[in-house]
Amino acid sequence: MRIAIIAHDGKKADMVSFLLNYKSVLDKIELVATNTTGGLVEGAGLKVTRLLSGPIGGDAQIAAMAAEGKLDLIVFFRDPLDKHPHEPDVQMLMRICDVHNIPLATNIAAARLMFKGIVKEL
């Protein structure tokens, strides 16, 4: 299983905290992340493949992976209260998930529900 993770700056700490709650499960899962989020996740002791930073193409790289059927789930903790200059990339990623039927969790509650399903599968 391959999961992509992305977090806006205001949500990066939440992402790391969330993932650490599932550390034993994530040992069996390949993580792919945008660069800055991936660096924080690596720093917390998890293995992750880092792509470009979101605003300079990382969101688009993850969308391409989704379109090519290379992802099973995307967890994207968005910060709805902040402006993001790469919002068109974010919208494109969400559209690609809908077109290609890729599950997308945009907050902790949704991610928690999806990870409960993953735990049952593994």
CA distances from 28 to 25, 84, 121 (A): 6, 33, 11
Higher-pLDDT residue of 7 and 88 is 7
**How far is it, in rounded angstroms, from Cα 72 to Cα 67?**
11
The pTM of this model reads 0.94
Number of domains in the chain: 1
The CATH code of the domain that includes 48 is 3.40.50.1380
pLDDT band at 88 (very low <50, low <70, confident <90, very high): confident
How far apart CA 99 and CA 7 sit, in angstroms, is 22
Name the band, by pLDDT with cuts 50, 70 and 90, for residue 122.
Answer: confident
Query: In 3-state terms, what secondary structure has residue 36?
Result: helix
Residues annotated as part of the active site: 59
Per the structure, the complete domain to which residue 84 belongs is given by 2-121
Q: What are phi and psi of 50, to 5 degrees?
A: -100, 135
Percent above pLDDT 90 for the chain: 84
